[in-house]
Structure 1
Amino acid sequence: MLFRKAKISDIETIHKFITYFAEKDLMLARSRSSLYECLREFTVAEVNSEIVGVGSLHIIWEDLAEIRALAVDESYQKRGIGRGLVDAFLAEAIDLEIPNIFALTYQAPFFEKCGFNIIAKEDLPQKVWKECINCPKFPKCEEVAVFKVLKI
């Protein structure tokens, strides 16, 4: 298995993953435009040159980053790919000297297995919510906030 930073040629596959899970109400949808704008945040997981998982690490502030758009092909789930992506993002945050990482998720038990703690969304700084205003689920967000302090 290979974890690598995403390339322009990966956008359609990333969009396909996110759209598939968004249509199942398991994550929030993302436009192609937003994926192009955030391409450098994305990491993909490959098995035999096929992308089987995606996700991104979005920097919020000097001390805070968010894991976003984490998705693994259903036929590859429960094989450590999601965990591998999370570990890659944690390592990236440590390299960038960002001590805190969070996610807003419908899959809180998965993140708890990765060492995150559930927190009240209201405990996150207001900077986190700048994109929420454009979300179709705003203000009735059902995502759970998970948070992890990293050892820098």
Structure 2
Amino acid sequence: MSASADSTVGHAGHTVQTGRERGQAVPGPDPVCLVTRFTAVDDAAARGLLDELRAIEGSVVAEYGHLTYDVFADQDHPLDLYVIETWAGATDAQRHEDLVLGNGTVQRVMPLLTAPLRTLTLLPVATDSAGATYRPAPVRAQSGSNDKEAEQE
């Protein structure tokens, strides 16, 4: 993850597992993308949050089922950071969410944020050559970790 000092927009390090050995995850037929929004209270908090995201990157990319981990800053709102992760399947994504909720990561970053974390779970939508769209069945949502659930609360 790298960002220049004069840039508020940046791709902070696209990481893909390489050199997979037998038994390691590869993209399944239904990969899952998690998009989490972090809104920092100020510039110092945004820098601290970016440091935290850099620090946990190594453990995230080592998790079974991990495919990508990217950090972005919103060009128009530099205090808004987004982590976009891709997992081989719903089970891997759920395992990761459970780990992050249970290992203290969320509690460490909460003082840096103006609002609770907002995570969207995105599933692939395929279209056939005739243009018909197939929608996957919904994935079990975790309480408080989904935008729709947060809006209903």
Larger strand proportion of the pair: 1
Length-normalised TM-score, structure 1: 0.35
Which protein is richer in helix relative to its size? 1
- Whose radius of gyration is greater, 1 or 2? 2
The TM-score with structure 2 as length reference comes to 0.35
